[in-house]
Chain A
């Protein structure tokens, strides 16, 4: 039977890991992800969760343990934040390149220097090109449901998945969460079947040196070169769209909760301005949209749930009638603009959607972002757009002079 509990985001994620019958967990402490893996360690020591917990000496080793354990057939999990994720960077490429269905919770936190333990999404955005699927959650219910879906997605797409959620804003904030029924989770998530099982019975060399072009094996069969491997990974991420959408749909059918597949939208049908964001900021934007509507501006919100693969088609569909677009995001691609803004504009290019797009960098390093401030920024942008400013990059609430 499902039950409702008041949980933090990290507790919700831990509950999901338990329901997913994860077999190997490795983790290294970093705020604000620590309490998630501490909870798992406690459950394992108490015998409430049957899994190996490998307490390694660094995040580089954490992801290595995940890669190796998945290679011999175990379902694995880890969680990290900020510098921990950056320290994994080399291994993130190896996890994706090995096509292993590793699920990692990324509890988003700003990146130094200088130090900050507070939230933004620079850490996971900086890992954008490692070949991982990235899903962003807006609340604690979505966290528990998304971790369960993430294993389904990872094991069908043979791609690792990051489940990203905002540090403190969600990780340490309590909300009511419905914990799904274990039997139903078992039915939704069959046991992990590895594509390649490293074992002495059938010796093989995994991830050896490879040439640029195809080569024949001992049986004369032409095998992939480096580029073919890369292309297959790209194809797998593109193909993961359908898997993500199907996982969400089937999850909604079994558990009655629909978080949107690739993205979700709020009051966009008649919107004269669409606000776009990811994670908890997008949920804050729904409050801003309500404020704007009270003031007579028909605002809607698009919450990007899957950032990689990018919801190219879906944003075109949902934004096709939007007269104006305002993006808020907690990251920046230095020397350009917000990463989401750049990606979104690229998705709209050449489609005939010609709405002005304004980009706000907000809430870096945990700076508070209030719904009223978002609403105010949207109003300012609309005034600007009315006077002809099509593009704008602004750092919200940042004293730049």
Chain B
């Protein structure tokens, strides 16, 4: 792995001193995404923490062209960029849409589904911080069961997380991947690969969020690793329908060692009101997914 790190594009596309929080998982991921995508990329982003990271007019901390769009319209905005570029005979530019889980799992789902069904030639990135963080930690359909949010402030979220990867896979698109900023080389490699593929590519990143998940900013990478160790987050890719575990998740599968979910849960303030019953339910959910992945990995 360290060997590969030396091959990573050395150029920086996000300037230091951007407006994301200390220890923001999204900003870690974004840095590597842009390195992998390199030049000749156009971004489009909706209302979210990423908008804030991009900076306030008239300055920006990001050195790639970007069209900001409304909350529901990310994938449609990408569709417009793709069509406009085609009309201008500029089909070599990579169009990338990037939104949070709220902008993807919830309000943006219709436009994303439409764009994927049309086979629009673009990369869609969802950074999943499991809540509406930009508006102050409200629940989204990506929020896990048992989590406190400002709209589930007393009883915690009652439902399991929506399986967005499954929804996107059902669109029959050529490439999907699950990633974590705690494993930047895995993430980088997947984006390098995605850039080469034509059609709709869906990339989902689990992005630990210190204020939203309630943990110290210095622990972001550690928490992202714990998520993978407990298989709450599983690193994989689906290329032309072929499922493959990657990186640390692949190793875990080979060794048959997974940490219990509670190790991940106890590190986060958002789960402080989680009941034993909810913990059991979430463990069952995580185990179910893991076993499904193992089976698929065997082919």
Where the two chains meet, the residues of A that have a C-beta atom closer than 8 Å to any C-beta of B are 23-24, 26, 51-52, 54-58, 60-62, 64-74, 76, 90-91, 94, 198-200, 202-211, 215-218, 221, 223-224
Contacts and interface: CB of A to CB of B under 8 A. Distances in A.
13 contacts: A24-B83, A54-B118, A56-B111, A56-B118, A60-B111, A62-B76, A68-B76, A91-B70, A205-B57, A207-B67, A210-B57, A215-B56, A215-B59
A58 B93 CA distance: 26
Contact of B80 (A68, A90, A203): A68
Contacts of B93: 199-200
B138 interface: no
Q: Max chain A CB contacts within 10 Å: which of B40, B59, B67, B81?
A: B67
Nearest to B83: A52
Nearest to A198: B65
- Size bracket of the B interface: 35 or more
Given A23-B87, A74-B88, A198-B42, A208 B60 contact: yes
Given A23-B87, A65-B83, A211 B69 contact: no
A69 B84 contact: yes
Given A74-B88, A208-B56, A208-B68, A24 B113 contact: no
A256 B29 CA distance: 61
A47 B139 CA distance: 49
Interface in B60-102: 60, 62-70, 72-73, 75-81, 83-88, 90, 93
Given A52-B87, A69-B83, A215-B57, A61 B64 contact: no
A223 B59 CA distance: 10
B88 to A, nearest CB: 5
Interface of B: 39-42, 44, 51-52, 54-60, 62-70, 72-73, 75-81, 83-88, 90, 93, 110-111, 113-114, 117-118
Contacts of B84: 23-24, 52, 68-74, 76
A200 B85 contact: no
A211 B77 contact: no
B52 A209 contact: yes
Nearest to B94: A200
B40 A200 contact: yes
Contacts of A199: 42, 65, 90, 93
A71 B86 contact: no
Q: Max chain A CB contacts within 10 Å: which of B41, B76, B80, B87?
A: B80
Contact of B73 (A26, A61, A203, A208): A61
B68 A72 contact: no
Contacts of B65: 198-200, 202-206
Given A68-B67, A218-B59, 5 more contacts: A54-B118, A206-B66, A210-B56, A210-B57, A223-B58
A56 B79 contact: yes
B185 to A, nearest CB: 25
Given A56-B76, A65-B83, A94 B70 contact: yes
B76 A61 contact: yes
A312 B117 CA distance: 48
A43 to B, nearest CB: 15
